[in-house]
Structure 1
Amino acid sequence: MARAVLEPRADREIFVVPLEVRPEHIDDNGHVNNVVYVGWLQDAGTAHWNARFDDATRARWSWVATRHEVDYFRPLPPGARGVAARTWVGDPQGPRFNRYVRIEDGEGRVCAQGVSEWVLVDSATMRPHRIPATMLEAFRR
């Protein structure tokens, strides 16, 4: 069964992270390895967080990924140029929310997409904490 391409809600900011396909990303099948995509999901989420919040906020709070799910549509070959991750967040559910990521090639075609579940934790105690409404505002359009 084919998966539908993820589409962001109209009220969510889409954050774009340029990606580089490096020689060490290529597996024995001649395309970007699956493990690299999982790293890109995490990198996109971290970059979005770091871009929207100041040092003090990032020192108080941290995010822990508890789940990643990836769908692959087309391979990224060696030397692919213009690759980018587009990411946005879902609705908070207590201390959790889903983060959505599309990996697109230089022509804007979706090569892979993923959903990661993230949990907000207090950096000092590492205990989960309900996502403050003010925090979600930073991810809105």
Structure 2
Amino acid sequence: MQDIAFQYHFTVPKTAIDDMNHVNNVVYLQWIQDIAKKHWEFKTDQQMRDTYVWVVLNHYIEYHLPAFENDNITSQTWIDNYKGVKCERHTRIINSDTQKVLVSAKTSWCLLYKETLRPARITDEISTLFF
């Protein structure tokens, strides 16, 4: 198993619940993007965030178990590899009380220059923060 690079803990809000009384699949996708952003912001300074931005190329998500209102959640993320302008980020969403994996995801991201929105090669400066 890959070392976990970043974790975030929260409680499922009522707004995440759908008509089936569990967390909606779209909410999990938002949580996957949220933790990626939190990880980026935690590891980088404002100058780097003003220079670069990430965009999603694709998501692969597996839904294992449902989550419910007021469940305690741990979201975990790490970057497995990178090449050129792309990286592969993994995310797990876990019920903090049972330690059961609710969702696992793999997302391909592309680094862009924020000003031009053109692809930017992942530099040593960036790679040393995340790998």
Q: TM-score, normalised by structure 1?
A: 0.87
* 2: CA distance, partners of 1:98 / 1:48: 14
- What is the aligned partner in structure 2 of residue 105 from structure 1? 95
Deviation, 1:65, is 1.2
Q: Which residue of 2 aligns with 1:39?
A: 30
**Structure 2 unaligned regions, length at least 5:** none
CA offset digits 1:10-58 (Å, max 9, x no partner): 5xx5200113311111111111000000001100100000000100011
1:22 pairs with one of 6, 13, 30: 13
Residue 63 (structure 2) pairs with residue 90 (structure 1)? no
- The two structures, once aligned, show a CA RMSD in angstroms of 1.2
Q: How many residues align?
A: 130
Which residue identity lines up with residue 105 of structure 1 in the other structure?
N
The percentage of counterpart residues that share the same residue type is 30
- Does residue 80 (structure 1) correspond to residue 71 (structure 2)? The answer is yes
Distance in 2 between residues matched to 1:44 and 1:19, nearest whole Å: 11
Whose strand proportion is higher, 1 or 2? 2
Inter-partner Cα distance in structure 2 for 1:69 and 1:20: 24
